[in-house]
């Protein structure tokens, strides 16, 4: 109540009161709930874009933040919100190659925040997880100098992770399991990475990765991790028969189109391990299949000789990478209803030449023999051999080969990610 004050003082008091209310409203977190209303995402825009996540009232993430740095802009620093929309989404789709189910239900609530400087951030709240991504609407190409992916857990967590000391990795690492506080700060983890409290498991990963480097994770303390990325390679040098050495790197992670969406960063939240195994978050977040014709894709089981070095026992011939052994694999596949055999490293005379088979085998005879048994052949190659011999696809089609296993990429910088999509 305004008593015993003059008109000017009353006007100043009312103006101050309305300003305080406006500041409080602008500073209030934006809330996004999951469809079942148990998962709560609170987005705060005071000075930066940060968010907290709770499930059933239990806080899991607190003051975690995100930022995308261009060569001359820091998207997410002192953000100025232009528009906010919340949309309920409920769709179904049929994967071309089903995994755990032939129909996927994609049900979530979407929060889209449009900011000054031609960028947006989208959050999705699922019953079993949360995800976000950046979108830019720039006219020209942009250089991404860094991306901040900062996760701060509400309490100390245990983690299961794949440790690597280099961005060059085959991803063939044994999982380590220990408190996050004890993780080596000088090394990194590849994705996915699992965090656990006594009640909840939180699986962190990414989806819809195109024209951008893969994300690696570094521990900061017992409750915090951050992201790191390989720089874009500029110049290469020789490095054996199956890789190239990066000689120089660009000062940025990626140079890419300015009008695009960036990869999703997500957490799957579960109370039981079985829920982690059943989740289809990567599929739900990824760009739908762009191929109009998919009838040529024939998924199926395969017999494979590599893990046991082409050794078979109880036979009347010498096993190895030879004609008799591969016919044995074809016979086994045929009897077992397996549509393919994979001839791994060893089928060719050299890893550098994808056109010359090992002299111990007659590839055309094996292809014909497999056809008579209703078994098709897949061949192994290094990515470098394929890159250096672009006509190999046409040659294999003429030979009657059903498919390829391309191996030893061992990198996830922007160049190599683009190699996957080529």
| Number of domains composing the chain | 2
pLDDT in tens, 267-282: 999 999 999 999 999 9
pLDDT for 24: 42
Same domain, 145 and 116: yes
pLDDT for 99: 78
Q: Considering the domain boundaries, does residue 12 fall inside one?
A: no
Same domain, 271 and 330: no
3-state secondary structure of 393: helix
Residues 278 and 200: their CA atoms lie apart, in Å, by 16
Residues 132 and 111: their CA atoms lie apart, in Å, by 9
pLDDT for 37: 98
Does the structure show a pLDDT above 90 at 29? Answer: yes
3-state secondary structure of 391: coil
Same domain, 313 and 415: yes
Give the DSSP letter of residue 275.
Answer: H
pLDDT for 97: 83
- Average pLDDT on 222-249 reads 97
Contact 304, 344 (CB under 8 A): yes
Same domain, 243 and 353: no
pLDDT for 15: 44
Does the structure show a pLDDT above 50 at 12? Answer: no
Q: Which residues, at least 6 apart from 90, have a Cβ–Cβ distance to it below 8 Å?
A: 35, 105, 106, 107
Give the DSSP letter of residue 20.
Answer: H
45 φ, ψ (degrees, to nearest 5): -115, 20
Same domain, 160 and 186: yes
Q: Considering the domain boundaries, does residue 9 fall inside one?
A: no
Helices marked H in 146-280 — which ranges?
Answer: 273-278
Same domain, 102 and 213: yes
Q: Considering the domain boundaries, does residue 200 fall inside one?
A: yes
3-state secondary structure of 21: helix
pLDDT in tens, 156-211: 999 999 999 999 999 999 999 999 999 999 999 999 999 999 999 999 999 999 99
Same domain, 145 and 208: yes
Q: What angle do the packed helices 363-372 and 323-336 form, to 10 degrees? A: 20
Classify the phi-psi angles of 179: left when phi > 0, otherwise alpha if psi is within -120 to 50, otherwise beta: beta
Give the DSSP letter of residue 182.
Answer: G
Confidence class for position 153, pLDDT limits 50, 70, 90: very high
- Which residues are bridge partners to 129 per DSSP? 126, 268
Closest CA to 379 of 400, 409, 365: 400
Residues 34 and 8: their CA atoms lie apart, in Å, by 48
Same domain, 266 and 353: no
Q: Give the helix, strand, coil percentages of the chain, each rounded to 5.
A: 20, 40, 40
Same domain, 109 and 213: yes
Neighbours of 125 (CB within 10 A): 24
CATH number of the domain encompassing residue 215:
2.70.98.10
pLDDT for 422: 84
Q: Considering the domain boundaries, does residue 328 fall inside one?
A: yes
Confidence class for position 7, pLDDT limits 50, 70, 90: low
Domain boundary among 227, 254, 285: 285
Beta strand 376-382 with 403-407 is parallel
Contact 220, 185 (CB under 8 A): yes
pLDDT in tens, 243-301: 999 999 999 999 999 999 999 999 999 999 999 999 999 999 999 988 899 899 999 99
- Which residues are bridge partners to 136 per DSSP? 119, 260
Residues 4 and 226: their CA atoms lie apart, in Å, by 57
Segment (H or E) for 392:
helix 392-399
Domain boundary among 253, 285, 317: 285
Q: Considering the domain boundaries, does residue 38 fall inside one?
A: yes
What is the sign of the dihedral through the CA atoms of 357, 361, 364 and 367?
Answer: negative
Same domain, 90 and 221: yes
Residues 186 and 165: their CA atoms lie apart, in Å, by 8
The DSSP secondary structure of 313-369, one letter per residue, reads -S-SS--SSSHHHHHHHHHHHHHHT--EEEE-TTSEEETTEEEEE-TT--HHHHHHH
Residues 55 and 223: their CA atoms lie apart, in Å, by 18
pLDDT mean across residues, the chain: 93
Same domain, 125 and 251: yes
Q: Considering the domain boundaries, does residue 306 fall inside one?
A: yes
Residues 248 and 252: their CA atoms lie apart, in Å, by 12
Residues 20 and 26: their CA atoms lie apart, in Å, by 10
Residues 25 and 59: their CA atoms lie apart, in Å, by 23
Same domain, 276 and 311: no
pLDDT in tens, 360-414: 999 999 999 999 999 999 999 999 999 999 999 999 999 999 999 999 999 999 9
Q: Considering the domain boundaries, does residue 6 fall inside one?
A: no
290 or 226: which carries more pLDDT confidence? Answer: 226
Domain boundary among 285, 320, 344: 285
7 or 181: which carries more pLDDT confidence? Answer: 181
3-state secondary structure of 94: coil
CATH number of the domain encompassing residue 356:
3.20.20.70
Q: Considering the domain boundaries, does residue 22 fall inside one?
A: no
Which residue range(s) make up the domain with 212?
Answer: 27-285
Residues 222 and 225: their CA atoms lie apart, in Å, by 8
Segment (H or E) for 17:
helix 7-27
pLDDT in tens, 95-114: 888 878 899 999 999 999 99
pLDDT in tens, 319-361: 999 999 999 999 999 999 999 999 999 999 999 999 999 999 9
pLDDT for 4: 56
């Amino acid at each position: 109540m305004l008593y015993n004050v003059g008109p000017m003082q009353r006007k100043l008091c009312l103006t101050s009161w309305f300003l305080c209310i406006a500041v409080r409203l602008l500073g209030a977190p934006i809330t996004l709930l999951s469809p079942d209303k148990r998962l709560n995402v609170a987005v705060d825009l005071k000075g930066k874009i940060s968010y907290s996540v709770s499930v059933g009232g239990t806080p899991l993430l607190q003051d975690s933040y995100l930022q995308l740095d261009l060569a001359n802009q820091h998207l997410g620093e002192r953000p100025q919100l232009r528009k906010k929309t919340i949309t309920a989404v409920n769709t179904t789709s049929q994967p071309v190659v089903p995994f755990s189910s032939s129909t996927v239900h994609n049900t979530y609530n979407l929060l889209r925040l449009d900011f000054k400087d031609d960028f947006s951030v989208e959050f999705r709240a699922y019953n079993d997880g949360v995800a976000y991504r950046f979108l830019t609407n720039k006219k020209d190409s942009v250089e991404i100098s860094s991306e901040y992916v900062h996760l701060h857990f509400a309490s100390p967590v245990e983690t299961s992770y794949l440790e690597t000391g280099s961005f060059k990795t085959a991803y063939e690492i044994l999982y380590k399991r220990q408190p996050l506080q004890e993780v080596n700060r000088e090394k990194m983890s590849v994705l996915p990475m699992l965090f656990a409290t006594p009640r909840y498991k939180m699986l962190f990963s990414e989806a819809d990765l195109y024209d951008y480097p893969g994300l690696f994770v570094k521990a900061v303390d017992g409750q915090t991790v951050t992201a790191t990325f390989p720089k874009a390679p500029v110049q290469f040098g020789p490095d054996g028969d199956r890789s190239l050495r990066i000689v120089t790197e660009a000062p940025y992670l990626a140079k890419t189109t300015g009008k695009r969406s960036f990869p999703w960063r997500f957490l799957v939240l579960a109370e039981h391990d079985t829920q982690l195994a059943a989740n289809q978050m990567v599929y739900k977040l990824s760009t739908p299949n762009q191929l109009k014709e998919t009838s040529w894709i024939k998924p199926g089981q395969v017999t494979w000789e590599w893990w046991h070095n082409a050794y078979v026992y109880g036979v009347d011939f010498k096993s190895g990478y030879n004609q008799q052994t591969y016919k044995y694999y074809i016979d086994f596949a045929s009897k077992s209803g397996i549509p393919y055999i994979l001839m791994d490293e060893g089928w060719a005379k050299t890893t550098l030449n994808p056109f010359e088979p090992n002299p111990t085998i007659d590839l055309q005879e094996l292809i014909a023999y497999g056809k008579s048994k209703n078994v098709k052949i897949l061949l192994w190659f290094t990515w470098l051999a394929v890159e250096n011999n672009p006509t190999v696809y046409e040659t294999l089609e003429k030979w009657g080969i059903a498919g390829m296993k391309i191996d030893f990429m061992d990198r996830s910088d922007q160049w190599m990610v683009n190699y996957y999509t080529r």
